[in-house]
Amino acid sequence: MVCVAEEGSERIMNSTLAVNGTQQFMGRIIPIVYGGFGSDQKCMCDKTIAEIHNQPNYKIRERISDNIKRFKESVDYMDFKKGIRETDTLKTLQNLGYSKQAITQADHIYILSERGYAKLIKIMDTDLAWDIHDRLIDEYFQLREIKQSGDYITRAEFIEFTNSLTSCFTEGFNKMFEMQKLFCDNFNSSMSNLTKYLITQNTPALTPEELYPKPEEVLKVSPQVKEYKNQIYKGENKND
């Protein structure tokens, strides 16, 4: 539970930090965290920053603590160990990946806004840190703008869309194959009938019984009729 408000001499954090799922970044799974600096603002804890930059958590905290005058509290950073009721924040910190022991032993647990993270990178000032910074801004913080513009879709919506698209293609291809098969069947049937008609027209003296004799009478058919019959059967076999 986090956002800063004055209550006597104690600074209490009392709005919500929401862990809204996770995402992949540079081969790691990181929590997606909203709140603290605004309900629609993304932020990041020092633990996640340390993991992304492949540094010990205490090193990131030291960088922030040693340069704390450069950071503006409640705008650039919040310290979960400063004047916060543990019962209100323990679950949130555990959702961010902190163990109970780490929470108890830490002198500071920093949450940084996008602006606060940018200041930390200036302090770190290495080529690798700037490269990671650029990717993190593009792939994590700036996704907020996509959501606000209405172009953002959830994972469930994306899966529903792909399933619908797949179903549409499958139905379309099935119909196309059915039409193709119907066309081929009709074409083959027409060609078979045409072949029989042409053969019949070229043998006007032959009766249907002579063209299509019974099996027991095949041996009595003349060689000429057998040849016509073979031509007919070849045409029919091609259509099967």
| Segment 180-198, tens digit of pLDDT | 888 888 877 877 777 776 6
pLDDT at 92: 80
Q: Which of 104, 136, 152 is the last residue in one of the domains?
A: 152
From 152, 177, 212, the end of a domain falls on 152
Tell me, what's the pLDDT at 226? 60
Same domain, 133 and 190: no
pTM for the model: 0.54
* Shared domain check, 84 and 64: yes
Runs of H (alpha helix) within 125-154: 127-136, 143-148
Question: Residues 72, 169: one domain?
Answer: no
- Asked if residue 40 and residue 12 are part of one domain, the reply reads yes
The pLDDT value given to residue 2: 39
Query: Of 124, 152, 180, which residue constitutes the final position of a domain?
Result: 152
Question: What confidence tens digit (pLDDT) does each residue in 84-93 have?
Answer: 555 566 778 8
135 and 186 belong to one structural domain: no
Q: Which two tokens stand for residue 44?
A: 């990041």
One domain for residues 212 and 164: yes
Q: In terms of domains, do 128 and 25 share one?
A: yes
Q: Are residues 50 and 109 in the same domain?
A: yes
Quote the domain boundaries for residue 116: 4-152
DSSP 80-112: TTSS--HHHHHHHHHHTT--HHHHHH-S--EEE
Contacts of 80 (CB under 8 A, 6+ apart): 2, 13, 89, 93, 109, 110, 111
Percent helix / strand / coil, the chain, rounded to 5: 60, 15, 25
pLDDT of residue 232: 61
pLDDT-flagged residues of the chain (< 70): 1-16, 83-89, 143-157, 197-240
Residues 147 and 166 in one domain: no
- Report the distance separating Cα 89 and Cα 22, nearest Å: 19
**CB–CB of 37/43 below 8 Å?**
yes
Both 147 and 164 in one domain: the answer is: no
- Number of structural domains, the chain? 2
CA–CA separation, 207 and 84 (whole Å): 107
d(CA 232, CA 164): 49
For residues 65 and 144, state if they share a domain.
yes
Q: Are residues 123 and 164 in the same domain?
A: no
